Amino acid sequence: MPRFRQILDSMAPYKPGKAVAAPDGRSYKLSSNESPYDPLPSVVEAVAEGARQIHRYPDAGSVALTEAIAARYGVPAEHVATGPGSVTVAQQLLEAVGEPGAEVVYAWRSFEAYPLLADLAGVTSVRVPLAGEDHDLDAMAEAVTDRTSLIFVCNPNNPTGTAIRRRELTAFLDRVPEDVLVVLDEAYREYVRDEDVPDGVELYRDRPNVCVLRTFSKAYGLAGLRVGYLIGHEPVASAVRKTTVPFAVNHLAQLAAVASLQAEDELLDRVERVVKERTRVSEALAAQGWTVPHSEANFVWLRLGERTADFAAACAAEGVAVRPFHPEGCRVTIADPEANDAFLAAAASFAHRTGES
Ligand SMILES: *Cc1c(COP(=O)(O)O)cnc(C)c1O
């Protein structure tokens, strides 16, 4: 038998969101925070055109995409590094900082990829419990030791949807030692409407140890192509470039991402529709008696405790796939009105049947 690293025995593999179908065939996938909309024709066209070049390796440096992102945010191209999904960029950052014995601090519950990536990189996870549904930034600052090399701050937080405001976040950043990298994971930034929630791209500018992760997977609707990126100072961006596997972002993904930035207004109109639906769904859930933390993302969180698995099963029976984290709660993606209505009906009948919500 070949010998494998011991950590593989204890690692929980990443569980992707499932699709389910009701007996009548209805199926709504609200388990992966994807865009509910079909790709834009202009993006499909760019990908179809790009298919003619797939016998060639892609541009290893994603130059056109990097420049388009830099122009979009008004940052130097040297401050941008792309990767095959921002999850991979996060992994590269951990590999870049993770000397043996290093620690990574993050809130828990937060993005389920963090523990997995930390284990893979050989970095020790230090999980700081949420305070209610929010990051406990004081406790996170106190959890920093001289072994800490990286901190993930997921804003808005996946899966609770809550967002950290400017004053709190800047006070936290002021407390973090300068040699610790703070990664602001802003996968859901486009859905934020609270003006007090800071844009990481503003915060990183005068802070060399702060960087931002963004993705084309959610608001830009390219989850299937895998493109994400980092915005950070030159040493951070260059660490990401060094830890990549060659040609990580494929040609079609690069073209689709550039085409998406060109069609950004159309995509952000779709985001606005999801935000309106978020309000409608949150209010409808509250009217059913559920307690729903205010979400700034494209999903809502129901803290169901021991009822989590039952609730997910009841939704599945109605053709609605949600993301259960038993025994904590369910995360439910906001999609188009029809899918959201199917979810609201399932939630109402669960509340009615169990006599509680
Ligand atoms: C979805 C998500 C990502 C982005 O993943 P990709 O690898 O870019 O598809 C990153 N962080 C969080 C918190 C997410 O929920």
| Ligand 1 nearest-atom number relative to CA 87 | 7
Q: Are residues 252 and 281 in the same domain?
A: no
Q: In this predicted structure, what is the pLDDT of residue 48?
A: 98
Is position 253 within any domain? yes
Which candidate, 270, 215, 251, places its Cα nearest to that of 39? 270
CATH code at 284?
3.90.1150.10
Q: In this predicted structure, what is the pLDDT of residue 148?
A: 98
Q: Are residues 296 and 272 in the same domain?
A: yes
Q: Are residues 118 and 207 in the same domain?
A: yes
Q: Are residues 166 and 34 in the same domain?
A: no
Is position 3 within any domain? no
Is position 311 within any domain? yes
Find the 215 Cα to ligand 1 centroid distance in Å: 6
Q: Are residues 47 and 183 in the same domain?
A: yes
Nearest CA to ligand 1 atom 1: 187
User: Number of folded domains in the chain?
Assistant: 2
Q: In this predicted structure, what is the pLDDT of residue 356?
A: 64
Q: Are residues 245 and 319 in the same domain?
A: no
User: Domain containing 148: what range?
Assistant: 41-262
Find the 187 Cα to ligand 1 centroid distance in Å: 5
Question: Which of 262, 294, 315 finishes a domain?
Answer: 262
Is position 243 within any domain? yes
Is position 220 within any domain? yes
Find the 258 Cα to ligand 1 centroid distance in Å: 19
Residues belonging to the chain: 357
Q: Are residues 283 and 251 in the same domain?
A: no
Q: Are residues 88 and 151 in the same domain?
A: yes
| Ligand 1 nearest-atom number relative to CA 223 | 9
CB of 217 closer than 8 Å to CB of 228 = yes
Q: Are residues 186 and 209 in the same domain?
A: yes
Instruction: Kindly list the averaged pLDDT for each block of 10 residues, start to end, along the chain of length 357.
Output: 92 83 93 97 98 98 98 98 98 93 97 96 97 98 98 98 98 98 98 98 98 98 98 98 96 98 97 98 97 98 97 97 97 98 98 79
> Who's near 242: CB < 8 A, 6+ residues apart?
96
Task: Answer yes or no: pTM beyond 0.75.
Answer: yes
Question: Which of 262, 293, 312 finishes a domain?
Answer: 262
Q: Which two tokens stand for residue 347?
A: 């939630």
| Ligand 1 nearest-atom number relative to CA 84 | 7
| Ligand 1 nearest-atom number relative to CA 111 | 13
| Ligand 1 nearest-atom number relative to CA 32 | 1
Find the 345 Cα to ligand 1 centroid distance in Å: 28
Helix axes 251-262, 264-287, angle to 10 degrees: 80
Nearest CA to ligand 1 atom 3: 187
Find the 353 Cα to ligand 1 centroid distance in Å: 35
Q: In this predicted structure, what is the pLDDT of residue 17?
A: 81
Residue 266's alpha-carbon distances to 129, 254, 256, 262, in angstroms, are: 38, 19, 14, 9
Q: Are residues 212 and 222 in the same domain?
A: yes
Strands 329-333 and 80-83, sheet pairing: unpaired
CATH code at 176?
3.40.640.10
Is position 1 within any domain? no
Q: Are residues 205 and 293 in the same domain?
A: no
Q: Are residues 328 and 252 in the same domain?
A: no
Q: In this predicted structure, what is the pLDDT of residue 357?
A: 64
Of 65, 87, 94, the one to substitute when testing ligand 1's pocket (max ligand atoms within 8 A of C-beta) is 87
Question: Which of 210, 242, 262 finishes a domain?
Answer: 262
Find the 87 Cα to ligand 1 centroid distance in Å: 6
Nearest CA to ligand 1 atom 2: 187
Please give all residues whose beta carbon lies within 6 A of any atom in ligand 1, as ranges. Answer: 33, 85-87, 111, 154, 158, 185, 187, 215, 217-218, 223, 228
CB atoms inside a 10 Å sphere around CB 324: 24
Judging by beta carbons within 10 Å of its beta carbon (0-12, 13-18, 19+), is residue 109 exposed, middle or buried?
A: buried
Is position 6 within any domain? no
Is position 4 within any domain? no
